[in-house]
Amino acid sequence: MKTAFVTGASSGIGQATARALAAAGFQLIIAGRRQERLAALAAELAPVPVHALAFDVRDRAAVEAAVGGLPAEFARIDVLINNAGNAHGLAPIQDGDVADWDAMLDGNVKGLLYVSRAVLPRMGEGGFIVNIGSIAGHEAYANGNVYCASKAAVAMLTRTMRLDLLPRGIRVAEVAPGMVETEFSEVRFKGDEARAATVYKGVQPLTAADIADLIQFMVTRPPHVQIAEVIIFPAAQAAAATVRRDA
């Protein structure tokens, strides 16, 4: 049985991806910061073998300890989904909160690097890494500044990882979603549910399951097929800041 490692699996896209990959026949390593949610997901997915790891991807020592301590039956990793990340605030650059900047750069960029570096020694030929980016990494929008920059880094890291890992036969891809209704906006607006709800007002956004379905398709293609980069929008969206809203 192949093994898939999913970060940010305690909610949203990561949680949905864990479900989709379990349905596709993978055993799972699920990682996140909320142990109780990971335990609930593992119980839901039974009898699929699941190993849960509670850590913050921004903590390099914790990442290395968790991956280094994997039991033998999960020692080889075939698929890595670098999903963990965050967005904080929506302010012009001159008003930005430095703590928010640190959280986004540490989670979205350095966290991806820490996890990839720890997992790669356990991945052989035929492995597949999917980095979850964003349309924000391909198009700038007002007040997106550091979040856009962090996701642009994910896009470029994906491309360079694909070059570096080609000799090892490891495929690397980016999925860059547009509007997806998860906890994302609540986190960005620091728990302001009313403000978060306005993001999707008059729009039918993508769901976490839509992204998970795409990821499942990508990583189950034949070994000679690599879907390298996908931008995925809801039908009501044409660009990062161009959305048709119903009255």
Q: Is 125's pLDDT higher than 70? A: yes
CA angle 64, 103, 121 (to 5 degrees): 25
Q: What is the structure's pLDDT at 21?
A: 98
**Per-residue confidence at 195, pLDDT binned at 50, 70, 90?**
confident
CA-based nearest residue to 90, from 232, 204, 240: 240
**Which DSSP letter does residue 76 get?**
S
Compute the distance between CA of residue 4 and CA of residue 185 in angstroms, rounded to an integer.
27
- Residue 82's closest CA among 55, 50, 114? 114
Instruction: Note the pLDDT tens digit of each residue in 70-122.
Output: 999 999 999 999 999 999 999 999 999 999 999 999 999 999 999 999 999 99
Q: Which active-site residues does the annotation give?
A: 147
Q: In terms of C-beta density within 10 A (0-12 exposed, 13-18 middle, 19 or more buried), how is residue 165 classed?
A: middle
Percent of the chain with pLDDT over 90: 91
pLDDT at 49 over 70: yes
Of 14, 22, 16, whose CA–CA distance to 220 is shortest?
22
* pLDDT the model gives residue 247: 60
Mean pLDDT of all residues belonging to the chain: 96
HSE-up of residue 230 (Cα within 13 Å, Cβ side): 20
pLDDT for 196:
73
Over range 154-178, report the average pLDDT.
98
**What whole-number percentage of the chain has pLDDT above 70?**
99
- pTM: predicted TM-score of the whole model, two decimal places: 0.95
Q: What pLDDT, on a 0 to 100 scale, did the predictor assign at position 198?
A: 84
State yes or no: pLDDT of 35 exceeds 90. yes
**Count of other CB atoms within 10 angstroms of residue 238:** 11
* 3.40.50.720, 3.30.420.270, 1.10.10.60, 1.20.58.410: CATH of 3-243: 3.40.50.720
